[in-house]
Structure 1
Amino acid sequence: MSWTSALGLAWTFTWRFAAGLAAVCLLFLVVYRFLPVKGTTLMGVRSLQGQEVSAEWVPLSDISPHLVRAVIASEDNKFCRHKGFDLGELKAAYKEARAGGRVRGASTISQQTAKNAFLWPGRGPVRKVAEAGFTLPMEVLYSKRRIMELYLNVAEWGDGIFGAESAAQKRFGKPAKDLTRREAALLATVLPSPNKWRVDPPGPYVRRRSGTVMARMRTVEAEGFDACVFR
């Protein structure tokens, strides 16, 4: 076989593999538009680490509106106004890193949903590109309400606990639909580091931060920053 033929075969294989992978990804996107996500890569990782995984899917109607407002207030107050990416926040994070400041995340709820539901944990350019590749079509195919429903059902709350229902039951002994404003703020506060920060009992940082989140929740409701979820 000539060198040219070998290159041609390699290119054909790469193209077909990429096309096949894209088709599989699109299939998952379509399926999860309608059906619950019963398992994620991170759930599998936690199970392999020896943790007992607790995950119970519930519709968004069975999750307290306080928790919806809390995660918008804490994680992404432009959730209803962006198309998957908060460009202003990305620019601010980049400038801060260039100036020698801390490297902070600028992921939206949509990006986090794409990562949690479809991809693997960790960082790196490949994962970030894949995250963007899922976020863009997800914003086209899904309503914001559906994205929020996915997010709250696959988010990790530490100790092998995934989803709002399991978190509410394990942390507060009640269903997610009965979470109070304060309980919702506490759960939203620990989301960035659920295996480090606790809500039972909350430490000084979590107590202070949850108070800030509660104040922002009032703004979210008053300004209609949650309108795309509840309309």
Structure 2
Amino acid sequence: MAKRVDLTNTSRSTTRSNKFERLNKAPKKGSSSFLKKIGRLLFYIWISTIVAVVLFKFIPVYFTPTMASRKIDALMDGEPSKIHSQWSSYEEIDRNCALAVIASEDQLFPEHHGFDFEAMGTALIKNQKGKRIKGASTISQQVAKNVFLWQGRSYFRKALEAYFTLLIEFIWGKERIMEVYLNVAETGKMTFGVEEACRRFYGHTAADVSTTEAARIAACLPNPIRFSIKNPSGYVSKRTSYIKRQMSALGGKKFLRNL
């Protein structure tokens, strides 16, 4: 006698098996959609950074994250929060200012492509030995940080700084980088740029700055809150003399022809 087959149970089992296979083969729409949104967001952020760099190649940089930070700190401390800044074009600023900051901050500025790798290597060795992260920032890196980023000492911010440094080196060029630096560098308490520094502390415009005055501004750049342009300490005076000698050793204003 032939064995009876339960077609009903077989059919149900086959149906469940087919449903299980379809579920396994079905794409996970939720995670895929999320990843696409993240990718699209990152793409838009990347495009916006390039657009911002291109725009700032042509328009003055009137306000920076550093200025905003100083203003917020002053408001929280109940101190005067007015930002003193006056944009001037590169042609309106005496070349002594550019020469002084190069002599003081970054003598390889005309030659490098945004980074001083020898100085960075030295800083990396020191960072491995100490707790504080110390940089070896070029003028290009300082501009990238001041215009597009926040102040801080983290490797993540340094990575973003490197990215923006490459962009401005490629899109702006040396003269524009120097022009922006001379206008956004912090030169005193709530004071930014060499034009405003000359007006507040010397009583004239940056077009009339002397070699000594330009060197003194550069001498205060490492810590413009602590060091005073108007009332220089002994250290600032000694550093001013050193920077003047370096300006002369570089060849004077003729050195800037390489920008």
Normalised to the residue count of structure 2, the TM-score between the two structures is 0.82
Specify which of 84, 103, 109 is matched with residue 79 of structure 1.
109
**Per-residue displacement from partner, 1:7-60 (whole Å, max 9, x unpaired)?**
322321221111111111111100011111111111122222232101111101
Deviation per CA, 1:56-93: give whole Å up to 9, x if none.
Answer: 11101111111111100110000001000111111122
**Larger of the two Rg values belongs to structure:** 2
Task: Tell me if 1:31 matches 2:61.
Answer: no
Deviation at 1:105, TM superposition (A): 2.6
Q: Which residue of 2 aligns with 1:151?
A: 181
Matched, 1:5 2:35: no
Distance of 1:127 and 1:101 partners within structure 2: 17
Partner of 2:206: 176
Q: Match for 2:172: what amino acid?
A: Y
Identity %: 36
**Which whole-Å CA distance do the structure 2 matches of 1:126 and 1:12 have between them?**
24
Tell me the equivalent position of 1:96: 126
TM-superposition CA deviations, 1:178-204 (whole Å, max 9, x none):
111111111001111111111221111
- 1:224 deviates by 5.8
Q: Is the 8 A contact 2:57 2:176 kept in 1?
A: yes
Structure 2: stretches of 5+ with no match in the other structure: 1-25, 76-80
SS at match of 2:250: helix
Q: Distance in 1 between matches of 2:148 and 2:231?
A: 32
Moved more, 96-105 or 85-94: 96-105
Relative to 1, partners in 2 of residues 1:189 and 1:43: Cα closer, same or farther, differing over 3 Å? same
SS in 1 for 2:110: coil
CA deviation map 1:97-147 (0-9, x unaligned): 445598643000000011111112222122111111111111111121111
Equivalent-residue separation in structure 1 for 2:208 and 2:58 (angstroms)? 25
Tell me, yes or no, if the aligned pair for 1:79 and 1:225 is still in contact at 8 Å.
no
Q: Give the distance between the partners of 1:224 and 1:82, measured in 2 at CA.
A: 18
- Return closer, same or farther for 1:122/1:99 CA change in 2, 3 Å cut-off: closer
Counterpart AA for 2:45: L
Matched, 1:41 2:71: no
1: CA distance, partners of 2:211 / 2:101: 12
Structure 1 spans left out of the alignment, 5+ residues: none
Aligned positions, number: 228
Q: Which residue of 1 aligns with 2:143?
A: 113
Aligned position for 1:14: 38
CA contact (8 A) 1:86 1:108 kept: yes
Which stretch shows the higher mean deviation, 27-36 or 47-56? 47-56
Q: Which residue of 1 aligns with 2:14?
A: none
Amino acid at match of 1:14: I
Paired letter, 1:11: L
183-192 vs 120-129, greater mean Cα deviation:
120-129
- Shift in CA distance, 26/3, structure 1 to aligned 2, threshold 3 Å: same
- RCO higher in structure (CA 8 A, sep ≥6): 1
| Letter aligned with residue 198 of structure 2 | A
Provide the TM-score with structure 1 as the length reference.
0.91
Give the conservation status (yes or no) of the 8 Å contact 1:84–1:139.
Answer: yes
Deviation at 1:3, TM superposition (A): 9.6
